[in-house]
Amino acid sequence: MTKVTTLGQFIIEKQADFPYAKGELSRLLRDIGIAAKIVNREVNKAGLVDILGDNGTTNIQGEGQKKLDVYADGQFISALRSGGECCVVASEEHDDCIFIESEISRDAKYIVCIDPLDGSSNIDVNVSVGTIFSVYRRTSKEGRVQLGEVLQKGTQQVAAGYVVYGSSTMLVYTTGKGVNGFTLDPSIGEFCLSHPNMEIPQNGTIYSINEGNYIKFPQGLKDYIKYCQVEDQATSRPFTSRYIGSMVADVHRNLIKGGVFLYPTTSSHPQGKLRLMYECNPLAFIIEQAGGKASNGSSRILETPPEHLHQRTPIFIGSTQMVEKVEEFIRLAETETQPVG
């Protein structure tokens, strides 16, 4: 009989990897897992209750919030607040940090950045959505946490993960020692280890990009897309275009099958559109730990200095060889547009 390992059991077994944490990080990850199960329940019955559609409010990005966005945000913040291991939550849905100053959180060591419901525009049409989270250690030992402690480079993450709410619900996370995936077994209400030691293929044949914005892309990206579409048996081209519209779902597929997810700068979003702290850093940490690569086109995403909570960035993430080919096309296009002399 195959041994079933639950998320809770796995976290406890791996607790020795964090001698400095004394169990706090393990409990924090447990709290996130519990909130994910609650959100999953609501996602699965969203068509049966009044939780679909717009909430009538907008987030800091100026985007309309879906009702389930607001619900998920509240569940994760509540879980982190009551767990006592988190001192600050930075959520994509809020303008500013949420400082947790309860008695049980007085000595909390961890800061969490979270996108409670990635891909929420897909909610009404029953397409996969997800949650993305990132964990940092606070750098000061006492007093109120300062914003500078939240704005740490992605290289300082101690854990990151995502949850995909789809045909099955999966939680994938890393603590800097590889990547492991857990599938929710609804019959027992537990995430069970289903994808141990996940590794992304070094190359692939899938590219994920919203080609509807093609006219707005920089020339290097246009050239890369044309490269993907040319027939060439030696490189298994043309590649397959697959774009879900939920970053977490697109990246999850490419992690398993091999591929590259591309979200460049555009003429309407010259800084890029995706958020460094809530989406790009955590997913970059996971993909790097699985043997892949994440770049802004010229440098490593995890090395990007954050200047504010809702900072945006272009991102190219996935199989190493595919990301490097994207960078090659970007460099070539930039070289060709440089003035001579």
Tell me if 1 is assigned to some domain: no
CA atoms within 13 A on the CB side of 120: 27
**Is the same domain home to 156 and 255?**
no
Between CA 324 and CA 317 the distance in angstroms is 10
The token duo for 301 is 């995403």
**Residue-level pLDDT at 332:** 95
Tens of pLDDT, residue by residue over 141-197, are 777 788 889 999 999 999 999 999 988 999 999 999 999 999 999 999 999 999 999
**Residue-level pLDDT at 64:** 56
**Residue-level pLDDT at 145:** 83
Range with the lowest mean pLDDT among 38-52, 76-90, 158-172?
38-52
Per-residue 3-state assignment (H helix, E strand, C coil) for the chain? CCCCCEHHHHHHHCHHHCCCCCCHHHHHHHHHHHHHHHHHHHHHCHHHCCCCCEEEEECCCCCEEEHHHHHHHHHHHHHHHHHCCEEEEEECCCCCCEECCCHHHCCCCEEEEEEEEECHHHHHHCCCEEEEEEEEECCCCCCCCCHHHHCCCHHHEEEEEEEEECCCEEEEEECCCCEEEEEEECCCCEEEEEECCCCCCCCCCEEECCHHHHHHCCHHHHHHHHHHHCCEHHHCECCEECCCCCHHHHHHHHHHHCCEEEECCCCCCCCCCEEHHHHHHHHHHHHHHCCCEEECCCCEHHHCCCCCCCCEECEEEECHHHHHHHHHHHHHHHHHCCCCC
**Is the same domain home to 242 and 319?**
yes
**Is the same domain home to 18 and 86?**
yes
Tens of pLDDT, residue by residue over 87-129, are 999 999 999 999 887 777 777 899 999 999 998 777 777 788 9
**How many angstroms separate the Cα of 330 from the Cα of each of 9, 188, 223?**
45, 49, 9
- Cβ atoms within 10 A of the Cβ of 140, count? 11
Band of pLDDT at residue 55, cut at 50, 70 and 90: low
**Is the same domain home to 236 and 176?**
no
Instruction: Report whether 284 contacts 317 (CB < 8 A).
Output: yes
Tell me if 124 is assigned to some domain: yes
Instruction: Report whether 154 contacts 113 (CB < 8 A).
Output: no
Domain boundary pick from 195, 222, 248 = 195
Tell me if 200 is assigned to some domain: no
For the full predicted model, state whether its pTM sits above 0.85: yes
Between CA 59 and CA 294 the distance in angstroms is 27
Tell me if 299 is assigned to some domain: yes
Mean pLDDT (whole number) for 131-137: 96
**Is the same domain home to 182 and 271?**
no
**Is the same domain home to 65 and 151?**
yes
Tens of pLDDT, residue by residue over 272-320, are 999 999 999 999 999 999 999 999 999 999 999 999 999 999 999 999 9
Name the average pLDDT for the chain. 90
**Residue-level pLDDT at 13:** 85
The token duo for 254 is 């490419």
Nearest C-alpha neighbor of 112 from the set 141, 139, 77, 140: 77
**Is the same domain home to 306 and 226?**
yes
Tell me if 126 is assigned to some domain: yes
- Cβ atoms within 10 A of the Cβ of 198, count? 18
**Residue-level pLDDT at 18:** 65
Nearest C-alpha neighbor of 258 from the set 322, 211, 194, 212: 322
**Residue-level pLDDT at 341:** 41
Domain boundary pick from 195, 225, 251 = 195
User: Which has more pLDDT, 265 or 13?
Assistant: 265
Name the residue type at position 5: T
**Is the same domain home to 103 and 211?**
no
Tell me if 201 is assigned to some domain: no
Residues 6+ apart with CB under 8 A from 73: 91, 93, 94, 116, 117
**Is the same domain home to 176 and 120?**
yes
Domain boundary pick from 195, 220, 240 = 195
If one counts the domains in the chain, the total is 2
Mean pLDDT (whole number) for 70-96: 93
Would residue 125 be called left, alpha or beta, if left means φ above 0 and alpha means ψ between -120 and 50 degrees? alpha
Tell me if 106 is assigned to some domain: yes
* CATH assignment at residue 29: 3.30.540.10
Residue 63 has pLDDT above 70, yes or no: no
**Is the same domain home to 27 and 154?**
yes
Which range scores top for mean pLDDT: 44-48, 126-130, 240-244? 240-244
* CATH assignment at residue 292: 3.40.190.80
**How many angstroms separate the Cα of 285 from the Cα of each of 166, 230, 254?**
22, 32, 15
Mean pLDDT (whole number) for 72-76: 94
**Is the same domain home to 304 and 258?**
yes
Tell me which residue range forms the domain holding 40: 7-195
**Is the same domain home to 315 and 174?**
no
